[in-house]
A and B are shown apart, each in its own frame.
Chain A
Amino acid sequence: MSKYFLNYLDELESEAIYVLREVWAQFQNPVILFSGGKDSIVVTHLAKKAFYPSRIPFALMHVDTGHNFPETIQFRDDLIKELDARLILGLVQESIDKGRVAEEQGKNATRNALQITTLLDAIEENKVDCAIGGGRRDEEKARAKERFFSHRDDFGQWDPKNQRPELWNIFNGKHFEGEHFRVFPISNWTEMDVWNYILRENIEIPSLYLAHDREVVYRNNSWIPNSEYLILEESEKIVTKKIRFRTLGDITITGGIESEADTLDKIVQEVSAMRKTERGDRTDDKRSETAMEDRKKQGYF
């Protein structure tokens, strides 16, 4: 690092730390939305730095669809232990059992959209006034319009056409009772920045991101992992491939890519040569051109 200016990764890091400290200063009961994916892992790592030598002052909230990769859950539990942090669970299964939501039917059924209700219920029950997320503006076109401090009304909804202007680095988190904020400290990071940072900081990530042999089926141009929830079409067959995942969502919707990248170094090399966006392998985004916007308006991550 030069003495008189920061390189881009240091600048992004300082920006994110600044945002996390603003959250702590402006809200009563903020949590980190933790999915076990690399972005929420990076946010958690940044929170550790922002408050050092104090502990992370945020609880980690996990909206658990029940359709997890077992590796993700193991990773989550280990991290919670290491941080000595509190875990708040929102269980989609519970929302289904209570009749708050109904399970989708058919081959392409997922619990992705059901998470919205569970998330909003968990926010309300735990009186959370700020949920910190790992969303990035480069991920998706609706996210490109997102603020660092993003207001949600008392129905948890986002109004993209009527957002508060956000100037300089002055963030306005003022809100009325029942409303909450979503805050995105790594808004300005790209997938490449996240990987470069993970490599630089040597941050531990779930093994799913590294190339490994797995039973998969080819569907919608990507490799969907075999699991107890998978319903096979007649024409589909299960094969074993060396794959890795670029994003981690539910096991039912997260497609892997064929890859030999089994170290962080190799992943960074691979991502820099990548010609497809990371969400290109997520079937939840493929449902329509505005699938993300529509879910976000209702209160999605």
Chain B
Amino acid sequence: MEISNNQLLRFTTAGSVDDGKSTLIGRLLYDSKSIFEDQLEAIETTSKRKGHEGIDLALFTDGLRDEREQGITIDVAYRYFTTPKRKFIIADTPGHIQYTRNMVTGASTANAAIILVDARHGVIEQTKRHTFIASLLQIPHVIVCINKMDLVEFKEEAFNRIVKDFENFASKMLITDIRFIPISALLGDNVVNRSENMSWYQGAPLLHTLETLHISSDLNKVDARFPVQTVLRPQREGYIDYRGYAGRIAGGMFRVGDEVIVLPSGFNSKIKSINGPSGELAEAVVPMSVSLTLEDDIDIGRGDMIVRSNNQPNPSQDLELMLCWLNNNPAKPRAKYTIRHTSNEQKAMIKEVVYKIDINTLGRSQDDSEMNMNDICKVRIRTTQPLMIDSYRENRMTGSVILIDENTNETVAAGMIV
């Protein structure tokens, strides 16, 4: 088989408890022939033991012992499948326990979000919550699957009514690409194969949609950003004076000869060479791991950022963030945390909770400044040294931070720079 030029698409699935999320994933894997015989046999055996008729596709997504025993999903699970057009990574996020925390995690790297709506119940509170998180995390593409169409007799009116409701509330959110597909995950309608029961639907089935989404523009290809991870200084013959700055391009493109500036020190230089994974390159694009050498000897280390002289991020010590709290221990007012932004690490203090978002009504509350697990708040923080930031809307890699509790070493919050 020839090694193709196919792209990788990461998507997350969000749904409530009984809206058929596991069945949908099982159906995608099954109909795209991504399930192996021994997996199928194991599921057939379990289905029989549990008294199901036929095979229960939802069982494909069971993972840990407790999940099997309790029939729930505890943590994000990653699943993989490939079609002749693309490779896919699914971040399968649970519907109930620590919902926000898990969906935020799954959404952080996703190109697309699949949001499931039960055709019988239409847009409910949870649907709004999922959509809000997809917009907060700036997932570039949202696909709303209106599921269980078989239970509303495959009627076009039912579908149209939900689309209208959805568009109504979603118009207030920052979502640039949204599509609607009527499906039946259980029967397979419009998942991989076009539905014969819904000839009124002219659009593409889900898999075809995923295969053709335009994702080349999902990363910022304009503003060149290179956070330095580590410095390569080979102590061996032929490379005695070699200093390579290793990192993964976080935005835009770099070319040999580019005029660059190193932040925060402010020294200027030119790119002398770019070493990619398979040798020297004339240019390299996000999200490639490379190492750069510069024309001048400059003191550069982990946490520094190399950018083009004519396109720089904002150095800032005072950040406004949308912060999602991820830990059982609530945020302590004015407490200090370690903040990680790209490869840079500083101390930070939460100075002010501007407002908290009520995830059910999407209203803002200004009097409630306590941040508990799963809360989403707008906050102001101050860092010990300036960070080289972009807004999260412009660049998800240089616009995101995490907070780490120094007492437990745990990651306690995820922040998106406003």
**Residues of A in contact with B (beta carbons under 8 Å apart):** 1-15, 17-18, 21-22, 24-25, 49-55, 137-138, 141-142, 144-145, 160-161, 163-170, 172, 174-176, 187-188, 190, 192-193, 196, 199-200, 268-269, 272, 274-277, 280, 289-290, 293-294
Contacts and interface: CB of A to CB of B under 8 A. Distances in A.
B229 interface: yes
Contact of B108 (A15, A168, A176, A193): A168
Given A137-B78, A166-B105, A142 B37 contact: no
Interface stretch (B176-184, B194-202, B404-412): B404-412
Nearest to A163: B75
B63 A142 contact: yes
Contacts of B278: 49
Contact of A280 (B38, B75, B244): B38
Interface residues of B, number: 77
B361 interface: no
A24 B1 contact: no
A174 B87 CA distance: 32
B36 A168 contact: no
B397 interface: yes
Interface string B225-269: 000011011111011001010111000010000000000000000
Contacts of B275: 52
Contact of A145 (B64, B108, B247, B414): B64
Given A11-B8, A170-B340, A161 B38 contact: no
A280 B236 contact: no
Contacts of A25: 229-230, 302, 343
A144 B91 CA distance: 10
Nearest to B235: A54
A293 B77 CA distance: 14
Interface in B50-97: 62-66, 68, 74-80, 82, 86-87, 89
Contact of A50 (B246, B285, B411): B246
A268 B75 contact: no
Contacts of B232: 51-54
Given A7-B7, A168-B396, A280-B36, A53 B78 contact: no
A165 B105 contact: yes
A12 B78 CA distance: 15
Contacts of A14: 248, 277, 287-289
A174 B409 contact: yes
Q: Which of B8, B244, B401, B410 has the most CB of A within 10 A?
A: B8
5 contacts: A4-B216, A15-B289, A25-B229, A141-B63, A277-B36
B109 A168 contact: yes
A276 to B, nearest CB: 5
Contact of A141 (B62, B277, B342, B400): B62
Contacts of B42: 289
A5 B216 contact: yes
A18 B253 CA distance: 17
Contacts of A138: 79-80
Q: Which of A4, A145, A187, A272 has the most CB of B within 10 A?
A: A145
Contacts of A7: 4-8
Contact of B77 (A24, A145, A275): A145
A194 B82 CA distance: 14
B288 A6 contact: yes
A167 B277 contact: no
Contacts of B242: 53
Given A5-B7, A21-B230, A160-B64, A11 B287 contact: yes
B28 to A, nearest CB: 15
B371 interface: no
B305 interface: no
Contacts of B206: none
B288 to A, nearest CB: 5
B252 to A, nearest CB: 11
Contacts of A193: 87
B378 interface: no
B65 A290 contact: yes
Given A165-B101, A275-B36, A276-B37, 11 more contacts: A6-B7, A6-B287, A7-B8, A8-B6, A24-B230, A54-B234, A141-B63, A172-B410, A174-B338, A199-B3, A289-B68
